[in-house]
Structure 1
Amino acid sequence: MSPIEKLTTISHKLPISVLEDIYKRITDWLASGGTEEDPYIKQQLRYAQHVAMHYKTNRG
């Protein structure tokens, strides 16, 4: 599963503002010639996972 596919599976756990920001960053990256498997995309996934975990913890 690609990082973007993984991101899609947790997207419902993220605040909309975070999700919009991540998708904008990924879209810009891909438009500039990057690929879905680049470290930058994987970093965005790690960030999303961290936020999802933190958001879940704080929402109870």
Structure 2
Amino acid sequence: MSKNSIYEINNMREQLPLEVFQDIHLHIDDWRASGGNHDDQYVWQQLRYRKI
């Protein structure tokens, strides 16, 4: 797995329905707005959940 979660999510863009891709980014944006980092475990969790 790459060390950059955002890069990994963007690489999955073509494999995901647009709504799912947008949902991931909304969750990440909310996380970052609340003080989270783009590479926190929460963001990786979003990525793993979408890969299932």
What TM-score results when the alignment is normalised by the length of structure 2? 0.84
Cα distance between partner residues in 1 of 2:14 and 2:49: 15
Gaps of 5+ in 1: 51-60
Q: How many residues align?
A: 50
The match for 1:3 is 5
Cα distance between partner residues in 2 of 1:43 and 1:30: 14
Query: Which has the higher relative contact order, 1 or 2, with Cα contacts under 8 A spaced 6 or more apart?
Result: 1
The match for 2:20 is 18
* 8 Å contact from structure 1 (residues 3, 36) kept in 2: yes
Gaps of 5+ in 2: none
CA RMSD of aligned residues (A): 1.0
Q: Between the two proteins, what is the percent identity of the paired residues?
A: 40
Q: 2:49 aligns with which of 29, 47, 50?
A: 47
Q: Which consecutive segments of 4 or more residues in structure 1 shift more than 6 A?
A: none
Amino acid corresponding to residue 37 of structure 1 in structure 2? D
